[in-house]
Structure 1
Amino acid sequence: MPSFGGVHRDLQSIRLARWGRVVPTGEVIPYVVVDHEGRPVEPIQRFLRDFMGRGHSAGSVRSYAFDLHRWWRFLVAIDVSWDRATSDDVRDFVLWMGQADKQRRAPRTKSAGLAGQVNPITRKAYPGDRYSARTIRHSNAVLRCFYEYVIDVGQGPLINPVRRDRVRGRRANAHHNPLEPFRPEGRLRYNPKLPRQKPRAMPDERWNDLFAAMNSNRDRAILALAVSTAARASELLGIRGVDLDWGDQLVQVRRKGSGAMQWLPASAEAFVWLRLYLDELGKLSPGDPIWLTLRRRERTPDGLAHRPLTYDALRAVLRRANDALGTNWTMHDLRHTSALRMIRSHKLSLRDVQVILGHAHLTTTQIYLVEDDHEVLRKVRRYLADRAEPAAAPQPEPGGVGYDAADLAVLLGGDLK
């Protein structure tokens, strides 16, 4: 019987040690991965420098750093050097992530009983304790990109351990144009399948409840802008005073992916709340961010210190509202709600919605064409209610009005007797 190589590992017994961490630097490369002695991991540092030089944002650098840090911790646990990792090691890493619980610096407290459960009001699941399929796929993409870089510069293994499957039924690049570079074909070998997810619109009554739970004009203004412009939370938080066009009721945002500046129309209600908030805030310079928060631990001679509103602080605002309402809404739900409202109005084309959402490809916007199951159920209930109503009795048509004989005689030019 043929013998296959490889090491059989007990994946359930693997526990990642508290090795290294991701630290912010405040420099050009905003994040770096350090080892257990506090020294930067050189291969990761070189890769992140190159990654940042290709125009990626600080948030993307942070995300890639955490994925690479998790991979390094796994290699330490199985005692394999990063430049000797094989496809079997990547396979075991994916299998381990599929069954392992997330390691947290602090245990869950209030949310422990809600992990993975579906909220009865929003019909959305709470974040679970295990890694999702989307997280595993992102991790594989990061590792593939990392090893492509180190192989290209002449370091690391000779073959990328994150393999691609061949295209079934035909040879890869079978119809390749010799004037164009070769492109990788096939999915990553150990990518788990993604469950099909449909964007959900927040019902109007739920939106009213969430809006009423806001405690300040600032929070009401940012939610009203989010549900009318369909902008992402990070894009809204970057708005400055110069990015407001009060005459045409437009706001300018910097797109998350491309970094391009784009003007978006907002509702009149959103600008009303924005005016009320800015009147409370006082004088604002054109280059200053408009979303500010008070730091009660920091004081100035004039009172409490104002600091720009961060994404974590905005999440805290929604968390307090969700606790009061028993829901689990997020800022991205407002983006879905705005997009679905525009699609269902039948007044805007799909191309118009694509421009507002800032999607690079029309196929990304097409996910909003899929009808939500709850919307279908609502339409069927309305149909059944209409069928249950008794049909109104037909009203008799009014009798015909006779013609005057004298008029017909004049019209036909003769005597009708």
Structure 2
Amino acid sequence: MPDERRPRRDLTRFVLPEIGQLVETGDRWEPVQLRDPLGRQVEPATEYFKELMAADCSPLTPRSYGMDLLRWWRYLWAFEIAWDRATREDARDFTLWMKLADKPVRVHWRHRGKNPDETPVPPVSARPAPGTPNPVTGKPTIGTKYAPATRAHFETVLRMFYDFHLELGTGSLLVNPFPLHRARRSAWTNAHHNPERGFWKQHTGLYRPKIPKRIPRRIPDEKYTEVFAGLRSHRDRALLAFWVATGARAEELLTATQGRADVGQQTVGVIRKGTRNYQDLPATPDAFVWLRLYQEEAWRKGVPRGRSQALWWTLRRPWRPLEYDAARMMFTRANGLLGANWTLHDLRHTATSLMLDDPNLAPVYVQKILGHKYLSTLDIYNRPTTDDVIAAGLAHHARQERMRSNPPPAPPAPAYNAESLNILFGGPDQ
């Protein structure tokens, strides 16, 4: 029942304030900290981050979850709501705001403190409308609203966060403001479930949105050649060649060391994202040629050399191992020459499609190279892309047009069999 003492909030004009911050500490025991506007740690979030690290999650998991917690805490700070006094109505209102309102527009650090009228803005003709398909790739551009995947991730993180503190009995928390779907509450759920049918809304949050199924995007060969030609250094060419050859995730390849690049075996060793296991991945000779050109150039400039040193470095002093954000911006600049919006993860999809197109490479080997747990994960590549559907439809129309312009000859007219008539009525030989 809604709390009548709490006034109704009008969120139609609400703007999420940029207060508080998520700080990366560099400490393995506590990789991130959520801090309030006064710079103090938010203890409930700190305890939850420790739980994630103890559960053998990746160090990137607390950062990902922390961004959702920061978004929720900013909402609570704006309305002066204690985290353990948040109600279901609070969760419902903020979830609805994330669905309908525009995302906050962050000002670039180069433009902060300047007059907005003096800030250079690209011409409208050069910028596709938010959310519209890119004319080169067909992928939708980033929209003004929160994506369904972002809202689903937020709901899951907050529901797990409150479940964790409910089990501990932290503060005055009594109920989880992010409940499960109504059909999931009963202990007798699925008691009469038909085993031939799938489970409906299994462990689904009440406010969790529906996420559309994504279709992997493959970079066509001719477009990949144009992107490759737009790169500025041997390092970037080597990176792109290895990503497409190995199918490794961007972060996995960026954290490789020089000793893991085995030219003789034509493999590069990476640490897998989920299992944290070491795995050697096969690569092409061209990738190692570009790698050697990059290393010779980098070592002459003074880049650290050694088997335990990082494989990829920045191009300018001070020398630092190349991080994901810098690699992403490099690929974005190369995309900008074509007006495309491919991502680094699309290179992994491209590598997978190339391997699956080879009839002599069994899918089970592709699964192992990609590091997937189940072979069924490759089923997403059986879904036709938009380009495939359009090409098939146009080919159908072309065949129909050819049939109309060159119709096949008419079949011969039906006639009675002469032998059958002679037997039935008696012929000249009877």
TM class, shorter-length: 0.7 to 0.9
Q: How does 1:67-78 map to 2 (within 5 A)?
A: 67-78=68-79
Q: How does 1:49-128 map to 2 (within 5 A)?
A: 49-106=50-107, 109-110=121-122, 113-114=127-128, 115-128=130-143
Q: In the alignment, residue 152 of structure 1 is paired with which amino acid?
A: E
Other-structure match for 1:43 = 44
User: Matches of 2:254 and 2:297 in 1, distance apart?
Assistant: 18
Say yes or no: does 1:252 pair with 2:273: no
Q: Percent identity?
A: 41
Contact 2:268 2:283 in 1 (8 A): yes
Q: How does 1:14-413 map to 2 (within 5 A)?
A: 14-27=14-27, 28-106=29-107, 109-110=121-122, 113-114=127-128, 115-156=130-171, 157-167=173-183, 171-172=188-189, 174=191, 185-282=202-299, 284-295=305-316, 304-378=317-391
Change in 2 beyond 3 A, CA 1:158/1:170: closer
Contact 1:167 1:186 in 2 (8 A): no
RMSD over aligned CA atoms reads 2.8
Contact 1:199 1:368 in 2 (8 A): yes
How many residues align? The count is 374
Query: How far is 1:141 from its partner?
Result: 1.0
Which deviations, in whole Å up to 9, do the C-alpha atoms of 1:290-325 show, x marking residues without a partner? 111133xxxxxxxx4322111111122112212222
TM-score (norm 1): 0.82
Q: In the alignment, residue 270 of structure 2 is paired with which amino acid?
A: V
Query: How far is 1:26 from its partner?
Result: 2.4
Helix, strand or coil: the match of 2:240? helix
User: Matches of 2:2 and 2:334 in 1, distance apart?
Assistant: 56
Other-structure match for 2:412 = none
User: Matches of 2:52 and 2:355 in 1, distance apart?
Assistant: 36
Query: How far is 1:136 from its partner?
Result: 0.5
Query: How far is 1:170 from its partner?
Result: 9.5
User: Matches of 1:376 and 1:267 in 2, distance apart?
Assistant: 32
Question: Any gaps of 5 or more consecutive residues in structure 1?
Answer: 177-183, 296-303, 392-417
Query: How far is 1:16 from its partner?
Result: 2.3
Which deviations, in whole Å up to 9, do the C-alpha atoms of 1:160-183 show, x marking residues without a partner? 22111144899326389xxxxxxx
Helix, strand or coil: the match of 2:320? strand
Change in 2 beyond 3 A, CA 1:159/1:4: closer
Q: In the alignment, residue 312 of structure 2 is paired with which amino acid?
A: W
Query: How far is 1:125 from its partner?
Result: 1.5
Contact 1:166 1:185 in 2 (8 A): no
Q: In the alignment, residue 336 of structure 2 is paired with which amino acid?
A: D
* Higher mean C-alpha deviation, range 220-229 or range 349-358: 349-358
* Higher mean C-alpha deviation, range 254-263 or range 342-351: 342-351
Contact 2:52 2:61 in 1 (8 A): no
Helix, strand or coil: the match of 2:61? helix
Q: In the alignment, residue 366 of structure 1 is paired with which amino acid?
A: D
* Higher mean C-alpha deviation, range 62-71 or range 271-280: 271-280
